[in-house]
Amino acid sequence: MAKQPMLKFVTVERDMPQKREADLRNTDFDEIYAEYAEAKAEEQASRCSQCGVPYCQSHCPLHNNIPDWLRLTATGRLQEAYDISQATNTFPEICGRICPQDRLCEGNCVIEQSGHGTVTIGAVEKYITDTAWEKGWVKTIKPAQEQDKSVAIIGAGPGGLAAADVLRREGVQVTVYDRYDRAGGLLTYGIPGFKLEKDVVMRRIEQLEKGGVEFVLNCNVGEDISFDAIRGKHDAVIIAAGVYKTRDLQGPGSGAEGIVRAIDYLTVSNKVSNFGDTIEEYENGEMNAKGKKVVVIGGGDTAMDCVRTAIRQGATSVKCLYRRDRANMPGSQREVQNAEEEGVVFEWLSAPQGFAGDPVSGVMVQKMRLGAPDATGRQAPEVIEGADYVEEADLVIKALGFEPEELPKLWNTDGLEVTRWGTIKADFETGRTSLENVYAIGDIVRGASLVVWAIRDGRDCAAAVLQDLAETAAVAAE
């Protein structure tokens, strides 16, 4: 009888790839996790229970066929594992690095629920596709037949790139417009290199370019080219602009020098640390934490990126203020642990009420306690009277989340309907908007969300665009 290659979770313990020691990793922007060796990847994949109802798959926004590619990895059939992984996910090596697996696939793993420790799905996913690149299994996009249809994509983030990939494979002519000097959106400039090294992103963009996708960079729609002009040049338009407007803080001193937006801080850091660019705001210290007492306000993944970046830039101290407790914070618990190991101090149940000094010298903090649950079921923070204090700071980074820009106004476009939150009103499955042949996907529809959801939206929308273009061509041919 053949030896059972799976269900080894009882005898084989969960084992993540080795993590570099904190005092070594907190001085550079390299990824903190090592790669699995082949034997270790096979061993960890073999822990999968191959359960009849794979909750890992159902809780993945892309519904990746995780049990099958774990089984194929465990049995040494890695190229087949890659083929299955790539079939549902445009960028599996990126998701393997930055998805909050603890809240998605791994957090819902059956053996995790039974107390055996989850399968290391993300690490295996990363290993599969990194190996595929190394072995040359990732091929240049070569459509079987070119189409005379043209689609514009506004925004070169994960949603826009995923849509471009699907459309280009079907021979559609694709042009991507983006405001930045490099494609990738938040993958390039929002997520630090210690979570996602930039050559991983750049090789995907190069793959798209070699496959025939045209990128128009340093292009602000509404300024450098009008939205109407883009619509006139293409058969369809996909808006994948993301959300970049930062939620602000009011209160005394909120306009002081030394208080900066998280997106600006991370963009500058990524340009300097990952691409070697010379940026004035970094050179003059405005966006540089070196030698400073840094306070980051917020509890999401962007806040975690900021505190860990400040440590690497050489801050003398880094503190994170969050108005709820650890159990109620929205960011990944794995990221909080990494930040604490690297020297970040978390001040839980702490809310900023104002700022001292100009340039800023401190944050006025009110201590909180958790009261009754709010409308979402989360306990609402309440002020503890008389527990105010000032937290010293030379640099304050606001990481309070993002809101959509007023695109219809910025683009001088009539008829593009938005919700009361300012997001574009679009069908969640197809991306169709109120304007004919105009679609919208990702954060500009959902609000600030996950990369994996943007990829899902991009793939689904591209399928709808292909269907609509085909139907239009069929009607024209009658």
Same domain, residue pair 348 and 440: no
Same domain, residue pair 18 and 108: yes
**Is 3 among the domain residues?**
no
Q: Which of 402, 419, 436 is the last residue of a domain?
A: 402
Same domain, residue pair 173 and 209: yes
Q: Which of 402, 423, 456 is the last residue of a domain?
A: 402
Q: Are the C-beta atoms of residues 233 and 152 closer than 8 Å to each other?
A: yes
Same domain, residue pair 223 and 281: no
Same domain, residue pair 460 and 360: no
pTM for this structure? 0.93
How many domains is the chain partitioned into structurally? 3
**Is 2 among the domain residues?**
no
Q: Are the C-beta atoms of residues 234 and 149 closer than 8 Å to each other?
A: no
Same domain, residue pair 20 and 60: yes
> For position 379, what pLDDT does the model report?
85
CA 297 to chain centre: 19
Same domain, residue pair 305 and 393: yes
The domain that holds 293 is classified in CATH as 3.50.50.60
**Is 33 among the domain residues?**
yes
259-261 and 395-398 beta bridge pairing: parallel
What is the C-alpha separation between 314 and 396, in angstroms, rounded?
15
Tell me the residue range of the domain where 368 lies. 246-402
Same domain, residue pair 113 and 191: no
> For position 7, what pLDDT does the model report?
60
- Residue with structure tokens 């917020």? 298
Q: Which of 402, 434, 463 is the last residue of a domain?
A: 402
**Is 201 among the domain residues?**
yes
Cα-based distances in Å from 316 to 323, 347, 372 = 23, 17, 37
The domain that holds 81 is classified in CATH as 1.10.1060.10
Same domain, residue pair 312 and 395: yes
**Is 264 among the domain residues?**
yes
Angle at 426 between CA 420 and CA 431, to 5 degrees: 155
Same domain, residue pair 330 and 213: no
**Is 456 among the domain residues?**
yes
> For position 4, what pLDDT does the model report?
61
> For position 2, what pLDDT does the model report?
42
Same domain, residue pair 268 and 392: yes
State residue 112 phi and psi, 5-degree precision.
-65, -45
**Is 145 among the domain residues?**
no
**Is 363 among the domain residues?**
yes
Same domain, residue pair 260 and 396: yes
Kindly state the tokens that stand for 359: 């340039």
pLDDT mean values, one per 10 residues, the chain (478 residues)? 59 82 94 89 92 94 97 95 97 96 92 87 96 97 96 98 98 98 97 97 98 98 96 98 88 94 97 97 97 96 96 98 91 91 97 96 96 84 92 96 92 94 95 98 96 98 97 85
